[in-house]
Structure 1
């Protein structure tokens, strides 16, 4: 059975190492060192990881992340590459694959697409289908809570996911599954997608999910 979370973990490690600790990423305000510290914290410090989502705990998360950030960069990469420790929830059977395929894919592209000379690079067919299967739930969690308009994500072959069922005319975003994942996670400015719909609705969407 393929383990896409693991293969994307290794790809992300390679990209982080090649970029070095001070390279930009698509995570606003974060260098590659910041991103590496975040990845390690998320799997190894569950007491601090909650602050990634919960604003009242964000200060504690930032302090713990800064502690990791101060460690040697190569140590952070080793901790991330070797995966979660035995006592981490991410080490439970199936948890890594369930929780990390999209996480690792998005962050790998955060590193790869941060430079001005990046080129499109489609994931393999099998990973593409995994991303498509995971997209509906995650897009509704990420993009659905932000968008002020009815939003539909569509593949070039016509298959579509309705992310937000708000009233009014729909805005459609068309692209390959990996590109739609990046759009839903706020990376639309570097995603290869086409956005169509009424001008006012498209502009309202652009405010919360920027795109070219």
Structure 2
């Protein structure tokens, strides 16, 4: 398990306990209890996890998540903290690739839903690890966007995604760019330049995987 994925997991679990089961998150309509149940489902119920991405099985996913959310909250958070070794997304061979962005984003979902937050000063090596995942995320998140988006992270590099024609420039630290491309545009500290109508369209688009 990579140290960054592990630290994001442990810090998120600590925060979930600190704010309690009914705190808001950036995931629309989800409390911290719902978020914890989602993470447990993703790792421990592969039969239901498919519905996170596939609408035909989403009803089953929703039913399983509701049952998990009924687990006593402290126990639910402990399941988040201690991933099963056998899980397709948390075994030691895939943990870094499958979980670094997932737990970074959900950690910020809880942090930034509160008041008085500031971006964390992430280690340079963690920002670099997030940047390595960003080109693939950008291509997926922006696949239907009608203009070219040049995504730039100073000191890390740049990539482009989206359509053709007009061009936008999206600039920020790797972690902030990932939050933006995961659909947390309002909470991401980025700079976005380009034609005003396209800038507004991107800021309000339904992004994510």
Q: Do structure 1's residue 45 and structure 2's residue 42 form an aligned pair? A: no
Closer, same or farther: CA 146–208 of 1 in aligned 2, 3 Å: farther
1:138 aligns to what? 137
Residues 1-212 of structure 1 aligned to structure 2 (within 5 Å): 2-83=2-83, 85-141=84-140, 143-157=141-155, 159-164=157-162, 166-209=163-206
> Would you say the 8 A contact 1:43–1:90 is kept in 2?
yes
TM-score, scaled to structure 1: 0.92
Q: Secondary structure at the match of 1:47?
A: helix
Segment of structure 1 superposing worse, 188-197 or 154-163: 154-163
Q: Secondary structure at the match of 1:56?
A: helix
> Would you say the 8 A contact 1:149–1:204 is kept in 2?
no
User: Unaligned regions of 5+ residues in structure 1, if any?
Assistant: none
TM-score, scaled to structure 2: 0.93
Aligned residues: 207
Q: Secondary structure at the match of 2:121?
A: coil
Distance 1:123 1:158 in 2: 14
Closer, same or farther: CA 158–74 of 1 in aligned 2, 3 Å: closer
Offset, 1:116: 2.7
Offset, 1:139: 2.3
4+ residue runs of structure 1 moved beyond 4 angstroms?
none
> Would you say the 8 A contact 1:122–1:178 is kept in 2?
no
Closer, same or farther: CA 106–91 of 1 in aligned 2, 3 Å: closer
> Would you say the 8 A contact 1:5–1:100 is kept in 2?
yes
Q: Kindly provide the CA deviation profile for residues 72-116 of structure 1, in whole angstroms up to 9, marking residues without a partner as x.
A: 110111111011x24321343321111000000000000000013
> Would you say the 8 A contact 2:90–2:99 is kept in 1?
no
Distance 2:10 2:44 in 1: 18
